[in-house]
Amino acid sequence: MGKRFNSGARTGVVIVGAGPAGLVLGNLLLDHGIDCVILERRERKAVEGRARAGFLAAHSVRVLTQHGLAEGLLTRGRSHRTCLFRSEQGEFTLDYGQLGRGEVHTVYPQQELVRDLLAEYLRRGGEIRFDAEVEEISEGRVRVRDGADVTGRYVAGCDGHRGVGRAALAALGTRTARRDHGVSWLAVLVAAPPSLAAVGYALHARGFAGHMARTDTVTRYYLQCPRGTDPADWSEDRIWTELATRLRTAEFGPLKDGPVLETAVVDLRSDVLDRPGTGRLWLAGDAAGLISPSAAKGANLAVLQAERLAEAFARVLNHDDDSGLARYAADCLPRVWRAHEFSHWMSTLLHGPSAEDTDEAEARYGRALQYARLDSLRTSRTHQDFFAENYTGI
């Protein structure tokens, strides 16, 4: 059962959710002198232990640095500038740090970023309530399970794509654009150092496999798997055997193995709300739009939106000017759609014909297109610049 608490005087902004979006927003609002409270349904330990993203775009690093939130990632994160592609046609590496705008990623596990953001939020005097599940949002009033209502002049739904923020906004007439990419990934976290110096993308007739560094001792792998896969069907042996096959270790050398820490199945789906808010309710992060993980954009969009939403709230709450809220949507949506366009492009590059492609000729056509795209990326500098600019940009 959740804790009981009493709401105090009306807060400036009630933030629902303590993921990257909610915590960046909370920190920035405190910077602007706006009082806020974060309501998070999980316990602190669960929030701080949730391993998800790891690749931060240069824009995210700039935002976090400007607002004094980057000490951890600047000291413990690692700069990453290359990725490699493997297929039956061999292997090639792109030094994307020297292509496009010359930007790189900073690899820093999301749970560490969340830990840093939370510590800083508390250090700045922010209020947060864990184990406080929000059941309903209406007109600035937030109903908490087993707790008193909390009211704010504004409510920020930063509660992810299955949260109540989205449901409350849908009730106000928001429309959703949606795509099911038709593939799933077994996301595997292993206690082993990275096997490659770069991010690795392997195209294989058995399905896509991916390799992403997280820290010196933890690595993330992905295996494309059929919809409805039960992670329990994947033993450690099966995971390592399949990774070895798809990452073609016989040709390119072995992987550094270690115990599997966590497996989860992620269905690749994307959606975008046509309006990220209205009136007193505004959304940021996955709540405002879910992006498939194929180009590692989700946490970066969350940081971007939290930054813009904080500015809009500051303008209206400190200067009584609500024009920033309308601009929040106008500013973010084109960037969100650019990220979705690239993510979709990546998805079609990484995955061959889907399992539903039962027509053999269709499947052959799909695979040939996939290889033509890969070949273009290998040989065309223009294509490589396009890739680098979109891969690192937000």
Q: What is the rounded CA–CA span in Å between residue 48 and residue 20?
A: 11
Let me know if 226 is a catalytic residue. Answer: no
Q: Which of residues 264-293 bind ligand RFL (CB under 6 A)?
A: 266, 285-287, 293
CA angle 133–283–25, rounded 5-degree value: 85
> What spatial distance separates the first Cα and last Cα of the chain, rounded to whole Å?
40
Say whether 194 sits in a helix, a strand or coil.
coil
Q: Which one of 29, 37, 40, 81 is in contact with ligand RFL (CB under 6 A)? A: 40
Q: What is the rounded CA–CA span in Å between residue 58 and residue 105?
A: 6
Q: What is the rounded CA–CA span in Å between residue 371 and residue 199?
A: 19
The reply on whether position 53 binds ligand RFL by CB under 6 A is: yes
Let me know if 80 is a catalytic residue. Answer: yes
The reply on whether position 142 binds ligand RFL by CB under 6 A is: no
Q: Which one of 35, 133, 257, 262 is in contact with ligand RFL (CB under 6 A)? A: 133
x/- mask, ligand RFL, residues 218-257, rule CB under 6 A, reads: ----------------------------------------
What are residue 104's phi and psi, to 5 degrees? Answer: -125, 170
The reply on whether position 200 binds ligand RFL by CB under 6 A is: no
Q: What is the rounded CA–CA span in Å between residue 178 and residue 204?
A: 27
Q: Do residues 97 and 145 make contact, with C-beta atoms less than 8 angstroms apart?
A: no
Instruction: Provide the token pair at 309.
Output: 């939403």
Which of residues 18 and 273 has its CB atom nearest to ligand RFL in the complex? Answer: 18
Q: What is the rounded CA–CA span in Å between residue 124 and residue 317?
A: 19
Q: What is the rounded CA–CA span in Å between residue 295 and residue 291?
A: 9
Which of residues 15 and 34 has its CB atom nearest to ligand RFL in the complex? Answer: 15
Let me know if 293 is a catalytic residue. Answer: yes
The least distance separating ligand RFL from the CB of residue 296, rounded to whole angstroms, comes to 3
Q: Of these residues, 201, 221, 222, 328, which one is catalytic?
A: 201
Instruction: Provide the token pair at 359.
Output: 């027509």
Let me know if 231 is a catalytic residue. Answer: no
The least distance separating ligand RFL from the CB of residue 194, rounded to whole angstroms, comes to 14
Q: Of these residues, 80, 181, 204, 211, which one is catalytic?
A: 80
Q: How many helices (DSSP H) and strands (DSSP E) are in the chain?
A: 12, 19
Q: Of these residues, 293, 340, 344, 353, which one is catalytic?
A: 293
Q: What is the rounded CA–CA span in Å between residue 37 and residue 17?
A: 10
Tell me which stretch binds ligand RFL (CB under 6 A): 88-96, 158-166, 254-262, 327-335: 158-166
The least distance separating ligand RFL from the CB of residue 100, rounded to whole angstroms, comes to 18
Q: What is the rounded CA–CA span in Å between residue 281 and residue 165?
A: 8
The reply on whether position 353 binds ligand RFL by CB under 6 A is: no
Q: Which of residues 160-189 bind ligand RFL (CB under 6 A)?
A: 160, 163-164, 187
Q: Which one of 32, 42, 67, 335 is in contact with ligand RFL (CB under 6 A)? A: 42
Which of residues 163 and 353 has its CB atom nearest to ligand RFL in the complex? Answer: 163
**What is the 8-class DSSP label of residue 176?**
E
The reply on whether position 126 binds ligand RFL by CB under 6 A is: no
Q: Which of residues 290-319 bind ligand RFL (CB under 6 A)?
A: 293, 296-300, 302
- Cα–Cα distances (Å) from 8 to 11, 35, 342, in that order, read 8, 12, 44
Instruction: Provide the token pair at 146.
Output: 């087993």
The least distance separating ligand RFL from the CB of residue 309, rounded to whole angstroms, comes to 11
Q: What is the rounded (10 degree) CA torsion for 77, 83, 84, 85?
A: 120
The reply on whether position 80 binds ligand RFL by CB under 6 A is: no
Which residues bind to ligand RFL, rule: CB under 6 A?
Answer: 16-22, 39-42, 47, 52-55, 110, 133-134, 158-160, 163-164, 187, 266, 285-287, 293, 296-300, 302
Q: Which active-site residues does the annotation give?
A: 80, 201, 293, 297, 391
